[in-house]
Amino acid sequence: MNLKLEKHLNIAPEVAKALAEGKAVVALESTIIAHGMPYPKNVETAREVEDLIRAQGAVPATIAVLDGVIRIGLDEAALEKLGKADNVAKLSRRDLPLIVAQKGDGATTVAATMICAAMAGISVFATGGIGGVHRGAENDFDISADLEELAKTPVAVVCAGAKSILDLPKTLEFLETRGVPVVGYQTDKFPAFYCRDSGLDAPLTADTATEIAGMLAVQQDLGYQGGAVIANPIPESHAMDRAEMDGVIASALGSATKDGIFGKAITPYLLGKIVELTKGRSLESNIALVKNNAVLAANIAKDLSTLG
Ligand code: PSU
Ligand code: MN
């Protein structure tokens, strides 16, 4: 690793050892902890997700910026700090360099986590949902930087699709234009986070973690620049009713308009509203799907580590 990069990165010993030995490592983001779930469920979930990844025989690396250092792998105190504070910065690609220079703290989004994971040599990342093209983007141009990152940084993101707070058809079109593989895991439908089926087809389908690892290895062999979206439907036991969620999301979007929320604040605002409107039921589903994604990501990372 080059020295200039190294001075900004701190790789936890457990992660550094796994990387040096070519073992499986799974990156995890911190915006989901700081802005995606309420305290203390956020911190509890973060720990449980890490333990699940270890139980599969891979090593978790939760990523965040603390005191201006990009941390790859967080200890208990760091998780607690990020989960508890209400004003941690949300860092996407554009935000990261200034916060590092200012020696500040920040939680990384999917885009920023991909950037940091790639710097550390991690190629598989698990989360809940990716950002995408927002509804009404034809007017306000609100398209998450996650999508551009997926087109240029070689990290596979295992998620439960994207929430229908977004315009899902436009999100898939954008990913197609930028050449990002979107693979439904054991499904030919694109999942919509709380619901197993968005009503849209998954552009590609794979039935095993091994097939997905195979695709990632070929991307690497061919020198492809971008990553991939691995869309893993929420477990049946925790899936929510599509009509109910359509109503909840419409109501959350209505509140956002009324409260004049836009830009980087809109996604955290909507996530909070949805938890409120479903009286916490959506949070349980959210936790279940993140865990399900962590297990799949660990299995993909293990298979990939044998292919390298
Ligand atoms: N979608 C979710 N949960 C999340 C996010 C999105 O269901 O926690 C977070 C992720 O960190 C994602 C970010 O990268 O929001 C996208 O924000 P924006 O739309 O501002 O790019
Ligand atoms: Mn945005």
Residue pair 91/56 in contact (Cβ under 8 Å)? The answer is: no
pLDDT number for residue 233? 98
pLDDT digits (tens, 9 = 90+) for 101-150: 999 999 999 999 999 999 999 999 999 999 999 999 999 999 999 999 99
CATH superfamily of 3-305: Indigoidine synthase domain (3.40.1790.10)
Residue pLDDT, tens place only, 236-271:
999 999 999 999 999 999 999 999 999 999 999 999
110 marked among binding-site residues = yes
pLDDT of residue 91: 98
Between 3 and 210, whose confidence is greater?
Answer: 210
Q: Are the beta carbons of 48 and 11 closer than 8 angstroms?
A: no
Q: Is the CB of 137 under 6 A from ligand 1?
A: no
Any atom of ligand 1 within 6 Å of the Cβ of 293: no
Decide: pTM greater than 0.90. yes
Nearest-atom index, ligand 1, CA of 132 = 19
Ligand 1 pocket check: which of 31, 142, 157, 290 to mutate, most ligand atoms within 8 Å of Cβ? 31
Rounded distance between C-alpha atoms, residue 294 and residue 126, angstroms: 5
Task: Count CB neighbours of 300 within 10 A.
Answer: 31
Q: Which of the pair, 120 or 87, is modelled with greater confidence? A: 120
- Peptide bond before residue 40 is cis, with ω within 30 degrees of 0: yes
Q: Does any ligand 1 atom lie closer than 6 A to the CB of residue 134?
A: no
Distances (CA, A) of 193 to 72, 158, 216, 260: 26, 12, 23, 25
Query: Does position 1 have pLDDT exceeding 80, yes or no?
Result: no
SS3 call for 130: coil
- Name the percent of the chain lying above pLDDT 70: 100
**Residue 125 DSSP label:** E
Residue 131 φ/ψ region, left for φ over 0, alpha for ψ in the -120 to 50 degree band, beta for the rest: beta
Q: From atom 7 of ligand 1, which residue's Cα is the shortest distance away? A: 129
Nearest Cα residue to atom 1 of ligand 1: 129
CA of 308 to the centre of ligand 1 (A): 30
| Angle at which helices 145-152 and 168-177 cross, to 10° | 30
Are the C-beta atoms of residues 62 and 113 closer than 8 Å to each other? Answer: no
| pLDDT band (50, 70, 90) for residue 219 | very high
What is the SS3 assignment for 295? helix
Length of the chain: 308
SS3 at position 231: strand
Would the CB of 106 count as within 6 Å of ligand 1? no
Residue range 206-226: average pLDDT?
Answer: 97
CB burial string 56-76: b at 16+ within 10 A, e below: bebbbbbbbbbeeebbbbbee
Which atom of ligand 1 lies nearest, measured to the CA of 37? 8
Q: Which atom of ligand 1 is nearest to the CA of 108?
A: 11
201 carries a ligand binding annotation: no
Write the pLDDT tens digit of every residue in 2-61: 889 999 999 999 999 999 999 999 999 999 999 999 999 999 999 999 999 999 999 999
Cβ(111)–Cβ(92) below 8 Å: yes
- Cβ–Cβ < 8 Å for 18, 59: yes
Tokens of 41: 């469920």
Catalytic-labelled residue, pool 29, 149, 189, 302: 29
Mean pLDDT, the chain, rounded, equals 97
Task: Pull the structure tokens for residue 300.
Answer: 């993909």
Which residue is catalytic, options 50, 149, 163, 189? Answer: 163
Closest CA to 157 of 229, 109, 72: 229
Mean pLDDT, residues 54-79: 98
Cα separation, 41 vs 284, in Å, equals 9
Measured between alpha carbons, how far is 188 from 101 in angstroms, rounded to an integer?
Answer: 44
Clarify whether 148 is annotated catalytic: no
Say whether the ipTM exceeds 0.95: yes
Q: Output the pLDDT for position 3.
A: 87
Between vectors from CA 141 to CA 137 and to CA 145, what angle results, nearest 5°? 105
- Statement: residue 86 has pLDDT above 90: no
Atom number, ligand 1, closest to the C-alpha of residue 268: 15
pLDDT of residue 2: 84
User: 């720990």: which residue's tokens?
Assistant: 47
Tell whether residue 170 is among the known ligand binding residues. no
Cβ of 271 below 6 Å from ligand 1? yes
Q: Is 163 a catalytic residue?
A: yes
31 lines ligand 1 (CB under 6 A): yes
